[in-house]
Amino acid sequence: MKRLELWLYIAQRGSALVLAPLVLLHLGVILYAVSGGLSAAEILGRTRSTMLWPAAYGLFVVAAAIHAAIGLRVVVREWTHWRNRTLDFAALGFGLVLLLLGLRAVQAIA
Amino acid sequence: MRNHASYRAFLVHRLSGLGLALFLPIHLIVLGLAVEASALDGFLRWSELPLVKAAETILVVLLALHMFGGLRLLAIELLPWSDRQKNWIGWAAAASLAVGAGFVIRTFA
Amino acid sequence: MTNASLGTLKVEIWRGAEEGDFETFEVPSQPSQTVLDLVTYVQRKLDPSLAYRFACRVGVCGSCAMTVNGTPRWTCRTHVQKVASSGRVRIEPLRNLPILKDLATDMAPFFDKGQEALGRFVPSDARASEVATIPPDDPKRKEANAAIECIGCGVCYSACDVVSWQPDYLGPAALNRAWTLVNDVRDGDRQGHLKAVAEDAGCHACHGHQNCVEHCPVGLNPTRSIAGLKRLVVMAALKGEL
Amino acid sequence: MSGLERHQTDLLILGSGGAGLLAALHAHDKDPSLEITIAVKGLLGKSGCTRMVQGGYNVALAPGDSLQRHFMDTIEGGKWLNHQELAWRLVEGAVERIVELENRWGCFFDRNPDGRLHFKAFAGQTVDRTVHKGDLTGIEIINRLAEQVWARGIKRMEEHRAIALIPSRDGQRLSGVLMLDIRTGEFRFVAAKAVLLATGGGPTMYLYHTPSGDKSCDGLAMALRAGLKLRDMEMVQFHPTGLIAGKDTRITGTIIEEGLRGAGGHILDGSGERFMHKYDPRNERATRDIVSRGMYDQMKAGRTGPNGGVFITMKHLDPAMVRKQFKGMVTRCADVGFDLVSGNVEVVPTAHYMMGGVEYALDCRTSLPGLFAAGEDTGGVHGANRLGGNGVANSTVYGGIAGEAMAAFAKSDGGIVAPDEAAIEAAVADTMRPFSRKSGDLNALRERLYKLMWDDVGIIRSEESLKRGEKALDDLAAELAETGLPQTTRAFNLTWADWLSLDSLILTSRAIAAAALRRDDSRGAHYRSDFPETGSLEKSENTVVTLEGNRIAVTTTPVAFTRVRPGQTLA
Ligand SMILES: Cc1cc2nc3c(=O)[nH]c(=O)nc-3n(C[C@H](O)[C@H](O)[C@H](O)COP(=O)(O)OP(=O)(O)OC[C@H]3O[C@@H](n4cnc5c(N)ncnc54)[C@H](O)[C@@H]3O)c2cc1C
Ligand code: HEM
Ligand code: SF4
Ligand code: F3S
Ligand code: FES
């Protein structure tokens, strides 16, 4: 693809922008959850009461999959000798795995 | 050559990013396993262990470091240049510490 | 004026090309002595076969950069006192460039990248009979002016880890030059400069390490220039203008 | 000669200063099908003095200025020795060139608040006419030109040293140039349809000198050996304030900005007393030559600082002003260990520029067909003294002219012609000579040259000193010829380069001494203690030096006042 690196860069920064508020939200949630001593049922009860939570976490998962896959690819390219096409596929694979795992988890709280 | 704040900020950001990328799949597997509420309860109980708590704290700090560091980078790249950008490193570090401290206080208190 | 009481320095100098080793020389200390003077002393008095490069000796030509105790520097303007640690100075060629011999590198890849980044003015009105009227406080002019006085020494290029991790990366100096052109209202192909730095090893490969800023001997800020390019390039890409 | 690498190119340009780079660009513009090669001793665009230009570029574009005024300033500054047609072409060409530098090559000159070019004051000028980029004008010009050359597929032979101009077999024209590839130590012969000599002169034979380290009068020495005439070689300009910090540092000789004196800086003798009032009512603000002579006189009398110089100080002035107005100079001094704001900085007059050089025509042809010359290698434009700001104008104006003339010549008269093989062989043998002699102390020879030129052929000369100088130069030449180099590698051998530079410098020094002996009056940069008065301007003559066998011959020719006579003015 023409200017692949630039588009990956844009996707990575874009996904980071999406992640930032979601991570803040998530940090809030864990702080709340761990300090409130909530039980699993209570947590799930809340997350399942509205579609907003699964939607937010769904978005988080998609953004994180894009963001982390691209990020890892860059790190591997720069810090190892692995820099050919196979790396691109590996990164893509990593992103997909992340996405699947993530969606499964989101499904659990939905 | 690398002995200055911006470079250290990069290293922290990269290592935290790596840490997160390696941890996130594990985290998601665990969560995914918790389709059953009981399994999640088990998980939560397991997460009461001090060692696990400590590990989680580190992860939360990593996440905070990476996020604030990332926001700093996004600000440098997307906003007009500011000569105060060097100070942002300090702010990002402080905010991450605050989050970490908050987490520690809330979990252990 | 020689001053014997100042003692001697142990000067370790890289000998050879990519393959090579350090050789140690003893050079008498002087009150006024730059790193270039150390190297000159060795070539004139101790080993006539030592190779290095310099021209202006006052920090304008950018020929004399070397790695001194691990840090890339312009040697003609670096006082020995500033870098010697317990009487030792270790001098190597610049990193990230092929070594020709001893302390002299082949700088061609560095300048080639300047061209790859379309780091040259493209006239819009070459035949105009008058010089363009440009107020010095015009924001674009100020932006370009802040980045223009590069001496092409390669210090930033040598200090940048991304250059060593991604050898195709255009590097701070080339991108910095492109930024001055993008802001030059006289330039006839500002889009062209953006296109050039949007290629695969372009501005977006920079991670903002700022080694370049820390080491640029004339105090330029390539990070700032590169950030500016990133903004413009992303905007252009999203608008489909590249 | 067998075993010699041979190349051919249409145009061969020696040197990548303002003259060389503009020649390449103009030739390329005129005929893009030409193969153009720039051969340069250092790296392209990173060597030579054009890059070191601080002050700026004279051009008659300011409101109230005119070509006539720029011309008259140039002639009066040159004490009527200028070649008037060349000087006129300079002032005319400067206007064209500055616009071209901005609009075509992208130079970025400073502006007034209203957005128009800023012109600053420079000594010896009746109008503020110096265009500049801060105080680093040369970097801007050379960076922009080098980028353009790089972009055009012009061939580069970097770190190649021109050794000798090689005539054709019949000796009627130039065939090409023998080059030494510094990186490998191998010789190359480059045949060309036309060659430009633009190696930038450079009076680096004096104890204290400003030019870049790669300049060693090779062009002038090659021209002498090729039978060309050099004019006004006695005219060597000294800049009054060069740093002095001992002989073992390359900082010694480098310029401390002139503006410091203008801004009220004081010059003090070794005991801290001001002295310029003894020489001129303008004190420290007198012209370059007068201040240099005053300083030299004090130094001769032994009233010096620890390194043998005098001092400049700004400490009686507002430190904030000094720091702000002379930021570059203050940091440069600080980098190398001097405090310009509140201390005394030891300074000496330092050899800066050669007004003399190869005789050439308005289109840069020389008397040797196929050879062109431009820039500081040439003589005529500046006469007995160069105005600050006319140096870079000279190299860029005539560089461009030479490029076009060479492109035209290559088409009409130019062809590749076979070289005089014997000349190549002789030049190779001369260059290899030190490897077959017993290794000796080159540094001692260089220091002797520096010292004798400074003492006897320097700021103040006399028949006696010049004769002593000539004798010492002959001795040095003979000794250098027998001084060898250690048998080390020829690749990137800087000590060999030093030997070759000394060889060029000694020959050129002989030309300076001979011309100085011939001129029995004082004017401009040339001062004879035995003839302190300036002779009749009406009867002004140019000196002309040639090399006959191994002897320097001097003649004179009357100045042709083709545009204006002494006492008249155009402005
Ligand atoms: C410190 C300083 C400040 C100055 N400031 C001003 C100023 O403010 N205004 C002004 O008008 N003038 C100034 N001058 C003078 C001006 O720089 C010169 O007059 C002019 O630039 C000379 O240009 P050039 O092209 O002839 O030579 P240069 O620019 O000196 O270039 C000569 C080139 O020839 C090469 N060369 C030399 N020998 C050989 C060889 N044997 N083989 C191959 N290549 C060779 C060199 O490497 C170099 O590339 C200043 C000079 C100095 C030293
Ligand atoms: C919270 C919001 C986040 C922000 C603002 C953010 C921001 C960024 C930015 C700007 C980069 C680019 C760094 C560079 O190229 O130099 C980056 C890299 C990276 N991020 Fe994130 N990130 C966030 C969350 C995450 C998460 C959740 C993960 C893990 C799953 C992650 C993993 C990575 C990795 C592996 C890199 C590559 C590191 C590198 O190139 O040095 N990030 N991040
Ligand atoms: S940006 Fe600075 S460090 Fe880099 S080449 Fe230019 S002057 Fe040298
Ligand atoms: S050091 Fe390199 S990574 Fe970017 S900020 Fe400078 S170019
Ligand atoms: S010798 Fe020119 S910058 Fe150092």
The pLDDT tens digits for D398-418 are 999 999 999 999 999 878 999
The predicted structure's pLDDT at residue B50: 75
D47 found inside a domain:
yes
What CATH number is attached to the domain comprising B25?
1.20.1300.10
The pLDDT tens digits for C52-100 are 999 999 999 999 999 999 999 999 999 999 999 889 999 999 999 999 9
A101 → closest Cβ in B17, B28, B64: B28
Q: What's the average model confidence in pLDDT over D235-262?
A: 92
The predicted structure's pLDDT at residue B31: 73
Identify each DSSP E strand in D391-479 by its residue range.
none
**pLDDT band with cut points at 50, 70 and 90 for residue A51:** confident
**pLDDT band with cut points at 50, 70 and 90 for residue D561:** very high
**pLDDT band with cut points at 50, 70 and 90 for residue B55:** confident
Number of domains in chain A: 1
Do the chains contact at A3 and C201, CB–CB below 8 Å?
no
Q: What's the average model confidence in pLDDT over C103-128?
A: 95
Rounded to a whole number of angstroms, the distance between the first and last alpha carbons of chain D is 57
Residue A21, domain extent: 14-109
Q: Which domains are seen in chain C, by residue range?
A: 4-105 (3.10.20.30), 108-238 (1.10.1060.10)
Residues D292 and D403 in one domain: no
Q: What's the average model confidence in pLDDT over A11-15?
A: 97
Q: How far is CA D164 from CA C101, D167, D223, D474, D483, in A?
A: 26, 9, 8, 21, 21
Residue C183 in contact with partner chain B when CB distance is under 8 A: no
The pLDDT tens digits for D136-172 are 999 999 999 999 999 999 999 999 999 999 999 999 9
The DSSP call for residue D316 is T
On the question of pLDDT at D108 being above 70, the answer is yes
Residue D53 in contact with partner chain C when CB distance is under 8 A: no
Residue D212 alpha carbon to ligand 5 centre in Å: 9
Q: Residues near ligand 1 with C-beta < 6 Å?
A: D 14-20, 39-42, 47-50, 52-56, 161-162, 198-200, 210-211, 214-215, 218, 255, 353, 375-376, 388-393, 395
Distance CA B108, CA D407 (A): 84
Number of domains in chain B: 1
Q: What's the average model confidence in pLDDT over C201-216?
A: 97
- Average pLDDT score over chain D: 95
D566 found inside a domain:
no
The predicted structure's pLDDT at residue B39: 66
For D568, counting Cβ atoms within 10 Å of its Cβ (0-12 exposed, 13-18 middle, 19+ buried), the class is: exposed
The predicted structure's pLDDT at residue A49: 76
Please tell me the number of the ligand nearest to residue C224's CA. Answer: 4
Distance CA D140, CA D476 (A): 40
A6 → closest Cβ in C162, C166, C237: C237
Residue D523, domain extent: 437-533
Question: What single string gives the DSSP state of each residue in A6-73?
Answer: HHHHHHHHHHHHHHHHHHHHHHHHHHHHHHHT--HHHHHHHHHH-THHHHHHHHHHHHHHHHHHHHHH
Structure tokens at C149: 């006085």
The pLDDT tens digits for D194-229 are 999 999 999 999 999 999 999 999 999 999 999 999
Residue C217 alpha carbon to ligand 3 centre in Å: 7
Amino acid identity of residue D336, one-letter, is: V
Strands D174-181, D186-197: pairing is: antiparallel
Chains A and C touch (3+ CB pairs under 8 A): yes
Question: A99 contacts in B (CB within 8 Å)?
Answer: none
Do the chains contact at C30 and D249, CB–CB below 8 Å?
yes
Q: What's the average model confidence in pLDDT over B58-66?
A: 89
Task: Say whether D267 sits in a helix, a strand or coil.
Answer: strand
Residue B57 in contact with partner chain A when CB distance is under 8 A: no
Please tell me the number of the ligand nearest to residue C148's CA. Answer: 3
Residues D273 and D196 in one domain: no
The predicted structure's pLDDT at residue A108: 78
The predicted structure's pLDDT at residue D123: 77
CB C100 within 8 A of CB D183: yes
The pLDDT tens digits for D527-547 are 999 999 999 999 999 999 999
Residues D74 and D218 in one domain: yes
C101 DSSP β-pair partners? C104
Residue B45, domain extent: 5-108
Residues D312 and D249 in one domain: yes
Distance CA D34, CA D308 (A): 53
Distance CA A36, CA B2 (A): 43
Question: A35 contacts in B (CB within 8 Å)?
Answer: 106-107, 109
C34 DSSP β-pair partners? C79
Residues D279 and D331 in one domain: yes
Amino acid identity of residue D563, one-letter, is: R
Phi, psi dihedral angles at C107 (to 5 degrees): -90, 0
Please tell me the number of the ligand nearest to residue C166's CA. Answer: 4
A59 found inside a domain:
yes
What CATH number is attached to the domain comprising D273?
3.90.700.10
Residue C56 alpha carbon to ligand 5 centre in Å: 5
D344 found inside a domain:
yes
- Is the C-beta atom of C54 inside 6 A of ligand 5? yes
Rounded to a whole number of angstroms, the distance between the first and last alpha carbons of chain A is 37
The predicted structure's pLDDT at residue A34: 64
On the question of pLDDT at C1 being above 50, the answer is no
The predicted structure's pLDDT at residue B109: 60
Residues D365 and D318 in one domain: no
Distant-in-sequence contacts of B66-71, Cβ < 8 A, 24+ apart: B66/B13, B66/B16, B66/B17, B66/B20, B67/A19, B67/A20, B67/A23, B67/A24, B67/B96, B68/B92, B68/B93, B68/B95, B68/B96, B69/B9, B69/B12, B69/B13, B69/B16, B69/B96, B70/A16, B70/A20, B70/B13, B71/A20
- Flag the least confident range among B25-39, C151-165, D33-47, D455-469: B25-39
Query: What are chain C's partners, defined as 3 or more CB pairs within 8 angstroms?
Result: A, B, D
**pLDDT band with cut points at 50, 70 and 90 for residue D233:** very high
Q: What residue in D sits closest to C135 (Cα-Cα)?
A: D115
Q: Which of residues 140-179 of D touch C (CB under 8 A)?
A: 140, 143-144, 147-148, 150-151
A25 found inside a domain:
yes
* Residue D526 among the catalytic residues: no
Structure tokens at D327: 């930021």
CB D39 within 8 A of CB D160: yes
Q: What's the average model confidence in pLDDT over C156-179?
A: 98
Question: B6 contacts in C (CB within 8 Å)?
Answer: 208-210, 213-214, 223
Structure tokens at D56: 């700026």
A34 found inside a domain:
yes
Do the chains contact at B7 and C211, CB–CB below 8 Å?
yes
**pLDDT band with cut points at 50, 70 and 90 for residue D571:** confident
Task: Say whether D349 sits in a helix, a strand or coil.
Answer: strand
Residues D373 and D346 in one domain: no
Strands C71-74, C65-68: pairing is: antiparallel
Residue A15 alpha carbon to ligand 2 centre in Å: 9
Distance CA D402, CA D19 (A): 8
A7 found inside a domain:
no
Residue C55 alpha carbon to ligand 5 centre in Å: 6
Task: Say whether D310 sits in a helix, a strand or coil.
Answer: strand
- Average pLDDT score over chain A: 89
Q: What's the average model confidence in pLDDT over D264-288?
A: 92
Torsional sign, CA A89, A90, A93, A95: negative
Residues D106 and D32 in one domain: yes
Q: Which of residues 88-107 of C touch B (CB under 8 A)?
A: none
Phi, psi dihedral angles at C8 (to 5 degrees): -125, 160
Amino acid identity of residue D290, one-letter, is: I
For D512, counting Cβ atoms within 10 Å of its Cβ (0-12 exposed, 13-18 middle, 19+ buried), the class is: buried
Q: How far is CA D351 from CA C1, C49, D96, D205, in A?
A: 21, 29, 30, 9
What CATH number is attached to the domain comprising D181?
3.50.50.60
Residues D520 and D415 in one domain: no
B35 → closest Cβ in A13, A27, A108: A108
Name the pTM for this structure. Answer: 0.95
Residues D145 and D176 in one domain: yes
D539 found inside a domain:
no
Task: Say whether D114 sits in a helix, a strand or coil.
Answer: coil
On the question of pLDDT at A31 being above 90, the answer is no
Distance CA A64, CA C127 (A): 54
A4 found inside a domain:
no
- Is the C-beta atom of C118 inside 6 A of ligand 3? no
**pLDDT band with cut points at 50, 70 and 90 for residue A36:** low
Residues D466 and D503 in one domain: yes
What CATH number is attached to the domain comprising D529?
1.20.58.100
Residues D147 and D26 in one domain: yes
Classify the phi-psi angles of D302: left when phi > 0, otherwise alpha if psi is within -120 to 50, otherwise beta: left
On the question of pLDDT at C2 being above 50, the answer is no
Place of tokens 């004769």: D467
Number of domains in chain D: 3
Q: Which of residues 304-343 of D touch C (CB under 8 A)?
A: 306-307, 332, 335-338
D558 found inside a domain:
no
- CA–CA–CA angle B41, B43, B45 (5° rounding): 70
